[in-house]
Every structure is written in structure tokens, then in C-alpha cells.
Amino acid sequence: MVAYGFSSLLGLVRNRLLAQLFFVNHKSLLDAYFAAFVLPDTIFQLLILGALSAAFIPVFTEALKRDKEEAWYIANSAASSILLLFFFISAGLFIFANQASRILAPSFSPELTQITASLIRVMLAAQFFFALSSFMTGILQSHHLFILPALAPLFYNLGIIIGTVFLSPFVGIFGPAIGVVIGSFFHFLIQLPGVIKIGYRPKLSTDWKNPYVNKMLRLMPARAFTLAIGQLERIIAVAISSSLAAGTITLFNFARQLYILPIAILGATIGQASFPTLVRAKEEGKEKFTETIAATILQLLFFVLPAAALLLVLRIPAVRLAFGSKEFPWEATLLTGKAVAIFALSVPAQAINQLLTRSFYAAQNTKISLISAIISTLPVIFLAPYLSIGLNLGILGIVISIVISDFFNVIILTVVLNSLITPGLIKRMTIPAVKIVIASIITGISLWAPLRLLDKFVFDTTKTLALIGLSVSVIIIGLTVYFVLAKLLMIEQLSAVLSITQKVGNWRQVLSESEEVLEPTSAES
């Protein structure tokens, strides 16, 4: 959580600088910058993360237990094979970047399409370094070494900040794009000493007949297809946004970043930490598996529901702190705040989806998650164009369709899990979940008056420090109200707060006990 938190903080600093430098006079260029991320990042997600999460890590770990030298040979063959495929696909995108840009953002002007294509070509170099770095992440974490992979995203965001601050005055929007390449190189460089220290020596090898490599290549397609469904949401959002007012793609990305923040810090980390426990619980029987899933979902709800309430109440201060400046207009702040408010409703659903998907993986069932992902994408495909263009809701129409999609996914996964694998799951969770929802709603409502009074009589929120003071004060009040309500309603999950407090002082041991890969964040995180 600490690593994700600091990385996200630098990500907010990065985007605040982008808003300050480009939004008012060059918002269409900023749109091109964010649009250009999508295709290179999609290739990376499908090929590299698909290989790592579904194939390389389990296969490499299995080989490592048998023979270390053989494991190194397999690592080189696997990395070389995937990187070779990655190179050819990336080369195709480099050559046809103009055509790809026209498909991705069909309403961009020819000049903006050309700029988007050039930015794509620059960022492809970054994905190459990310690819190398991601295999290093897999190797390090297979050896239970977690600190360097956890620090790598921090240096990635630092690289973008360097490019934005020092290169933008000379090359404009290509400054942050070059910063992406610098950041990805940092992401690679910081992990290099770690893999060298444990004995890994990279060599070019493409032994596709090796049974381990062959197994890895066979495991990849299903995971890659699931990731492709997830990427489709971003592609549709860019395609629709390109037909709306200049700056829409940028505002969508800004709102999305704030929405993802509690999901990354709470949902993803708790989901990752729970996976080994879920696997062991499944081996112990259906009752234990059901009990473990219910307990983990309730614990997750205990954290993410108040986080969503705080994000909803503090949406405008959050947008102003994250992106606001004299160069970020008030109209843009309000629109982004509205998008964040709608996104906030989906924070619990998206966070729980992280856990439900892993529950199916623990039950060795990957088909349900894939089918659910396909079905839940339909609202984005059909509703987003109608709401944003047909009903003239603009960016809010896209956000509403994504929120509906998230709820579709969590409902499908929960009902199927309850029906086929863990009977009684919903019944077991209902009363505790209702208590947490009641506490979160009351907390959110109780914050409106303090927010208004502090804003009017205590803090001069035209200044950044005062805005920080207002936000911190409201958060402290909100958490106090929430914990008091949790105590009064006898919510059992409150005890986890004390447990986490104890673990903070023992972080080295906590890191050493982690058993699941901390997957690299996408370029927009």
C-alpha cells in the first residue's frame, strides 16, 4: 500500500504539471498525449502482462524448485520469445502509427492525428524497457524479493516529471513523451542490480520446443484475451472523446486517475495479499473457501466504502489539489469533479471485482471471469456513444457507462460464485455488509456541513496549503465518525485497523511473506 500510495502521489504531481503547462492553450495536444498511450500500453498489457501473470511466473517458479540453471535457461527462452513477438508487433504499429491513430481517434484533425502517431512511436520505446523490466520483476518476486519491484513505479513517474519539466520548454508535448521513455528506463535500471545479484545473466535464446516454454506459450492466450476486454473500455473512451470538445480525453484521464487511486491502494493490494490465502482455503474445503471469501470481501468493503464516500464529498478539493492551478479553468475543475463523483460510486464494485476474479482463479476457473468481462463490457460499447453523443452528456456519459459496466461485472461474478462454488456466500455477507453501507452513507452525509463551514469560515481555499488543511480536516472528521459508527454498529472488521497498525512497524517481514506478483502499473497510473 505504501509503494502504491507514493507512486500514485507522484502520478498526481506528474498530471498537475501537465495540466499547468498544456491544458489552457494546448489541450488538444494533451488529448493526443493521453490517446497515444493506449495502443502501446495495450500491446504491453496483452503480451507482457499476459505472459507474466498467467504463464511466466508459475512456470518459472516451478522450474526454479527443480533446477536453478534450467530455470535461468527457461527465463531467457521465455523472455526472448515474448520480446521477439513484442518487437514485431511494435514494429508494425510503428510503421502504421498514422492509420492506427485515425482508427483510435477518428475525429482528430489530420495534424493532431500526425502528432498522435509521432507520440505513439516515441512511447513504443518505453514499452520495450517496460517489457525487459517486467520480466525482471517476475524473476525477483519468484525469489521473494519485493522491494526493488515496488520502488520501480516511483522512478517511472519521476522520469516523466523530469521530461515534463526540463524538456517541454524545448520540444513541447514530446517532453513528457520522452519522459515516459526515461521513466521506463529507470523502471528497468533500478531492478537490474537485483537480478544480477541473484545470478541471472540475460542471453538471447528461443527454444520453443522446451516443455516449460511451450507450456507458457499455451497459457498466454486466455489471459491475454481477458486483458484485451479490459483495454477495450479505454479504446472506446478515447474514440468517443475524440469527437467531443478539445480536452475531453484529458479530463477523462484526470478523473479516472483519482477514481483508480483507492482501488489501486486498497482493492488491488488486498486482492493480491488474499490470493495465497484463497488458494489454501480452497484446498481445505468449500466451507472454508466460502468463509474466507466472505471475510475478505467484508474487510475490503470496510475500507473502500468510506474511501468512496470521502472521494465523493471531497471531489472538488481533490481535483483542485491534483490538477488545479491558474492554468486549469474552473469549468474544467467542475466537470472533472462531476466525473469523479460518478466514478466514486463504482469504487467498491471495482475493488471487489479484484477479489472476485482471484476467487475464481483460486478455484481454477478462468472461464467465468472471461465471460463476465465480455458481458459487462456491453454497456460501454452500446451505452457510451448513446449517452455521451446521443443525449449530449459528453464525458459524463462515458463515465456512467463504465460505472454500469463495473456493477454488471460484480453482480455476475457474485451470483455465479454463490451459485456454483460457494453456496451461502451472499447470505453470510448480507447483514455485515448492510452495517458497513449504513456507516459509510452516514459518514458521507455528515461531512457536507463541516466541509461547507470550514470552507467558508476557516480556510481560504484559494491557497494550496489551506486547501490541503481543509481536505485533511474533513478526512479526519470523516474517519472519526466512521470508526465511532463502526464501534456502535459492532462491525467486526474494525479490528483489522489495529492489525494493520501493528504490521506497519514490521514492513520488512510483511514484504517477505507476499506470494503474488505486484504487477506493473500501466503508463497512466
Q: What is the tens place of the pLDDT at every residue in 283-329?
A: 788 899 899 899 989 999 999 999 999 999 999 999 998 887 677 88
For residue 298, being part of any structural domain is answered with no
Please, which pLDDT band fits residue 461 given cuts at 50, 70 and 90? confident
- Measured CA distances, 523 to 161, 184, 323, 378 (Å): 13, 9, 18, 25
Please, which pLDDT band fits residue 213 given cuts at 50, 70 and 90? confident
Please report the pLDDT score of residue 464 as a whole number. 83
Helical (H) or strand (E) element with 248:
helix 248-262
Residue with cell 466460502: 290
Contact by Cβ (8 Å): 47, 85: yes
Contact by Cβ (8 Å): 286, 455: no
Please, which pLDDT band fits residue 492 given cuts at 50, 70 and 90? confident
**Residues in the chain, how many?**
525
Please, which pLDDT band fits residue 358 given cuts at 50, 70 and 90? confident
Q: For residue 379, which of 349, 352, 406, 410 has the smallest C-alpha distance?
A: 406
Amino acid of residue 516: E
For residue 152, being part of any structural domain is answered with yes
Please, which pLDDT band fits residue 451 given cuts at 50, 70 and 90? very high
Please, which pLDDT band fits residue 79 given cuts at 50, 70 and 90? confident
Q: Give dist(CA 464, CA 303) in Å, integer.
A: 27
Please, which pLDDT band fits residue 486 given cuts at 50, 70 and 90? very high
Q: Give dist(CA 19, CA 497) in Å, integer.
A: 36
Please report the pLDDT score of residue 520 as a whole number. 47
Check pLDDT > 80 for residue 27: yes
Torsion 52-54-56-61 (CA) sign? positive
Share of the chain above pLDDT 70, in %: 89
Please report the pLDDT score of residue 249 as a whole number. 94
Query: How would you write 312-377 as a 3-class SS string?
Result: HHCHHHHHHHHHCCCCCCHHHHHHHHHHHHHHHCCHHHHHHHHHHHHHHHHCCCCHHHHHHHHHHH
Please, which pLDDT band fits residue 521 given cuts at 50, 70 and 90? very low
Lowest mean pLDDT among 164-178, 431-445, 489-503: 489-503
For residue 412, being part of any structural domain is answered with no
Please report the pLDDT score of residue 500 as a whole number. 65
For residue 145, being part of any structural domain is answered with yes
Look at 504 and 209; give whichever has higher pLDDT: 209
For residue 422, being part of any structural domain is answered with no
Q: Give dist(CA 471, CA 313) in Å, integer.
A: 10
Q: Across residues 56-78, what is the average pLDDT?
A: 79
Give the three-class secondary structure for 411: helix
Q: What is the number of domains present in the chain? A: 1
Look at 414 and 499; give whichever has higher pLDDT: 414
For residue 440, being part of any structural domain is answered with no
Q: Across residues 54-70, what is the average pLDDT?
A: 75
For residue 172, being part of any structural domain is answered with yes
Q: Across residues 371-394, what is the average pLDDT?
A: 92
Q: Across residues 337-352, what is the average pLDDT?
A: 94
Please report the pLDDT score of residue 110 as a whole number. 95
Check pLDDT > 50 for residue 154: yes
Please report the pLDDT score of residue 238 as a whole number. 93
Q: Across residues 103-124, what is the average pLDDT?
A: 95
For residue 80, being part of any structural domain is answered with yes
Q: Report the b/e string of 86-107 with b at 16+ CB within 10 A.
A: beeebeebeeebeebbbebbee
Q: Give dist(CA 425, CA 407) in Å, integer.
A: 18
Q: Give dist(CA 437, CA 344) in Å, integer.
A: 14
Contacts 24+ apart (CB under 8 A), 510-513: 511/146, 511/147, 511/150, 512/144, 512/146
Please report the pLDDT score of residue 222 as a whole number. 67
Look at 141 and 239; give whichever has higher pLDDT: 239
Report for 37-41, 258-262, 429-433, 500-504: range of highest mean pLDDT? 429-433
Residue with cell 458497513: 436
Please, which pLDDT band fits residue 523 given cuts at 50, 70 and 90? very low
Q: Across residues 407-424, what is the average pLDDT?
A: 93
Q: Report the b/e string of 410-445 with b at 16+ CB within 10 A.
A: bebbbebbbeebbeebeebbeebbebbeebbeebbe
Check pLDDT > 80 for residue 87: yes
Please report the pLDDT score of residue 273 as a whole number. 65
Contact by Cβ (8 Å): 124, 93: yes
Check pLDDT > 90 for residue 137: no
Rounded to 5 degrees, φ, ψ at 99 are -65, -40
| Domain range enclosing 70 | 1-243
Please report the pLDDT score of residue 403 as a whole number. 95
Contact by Cβ (8 Å): 104, 119: no
Check pLDDT > 50 for residue 133: yes
| Model pTM score | 0.85
Mean pLDDT of the chain: 86
Q: Report the b/e string of 235-249 with b at 16+ CB within 10 A.
A: bbbbbbbbebebbbb
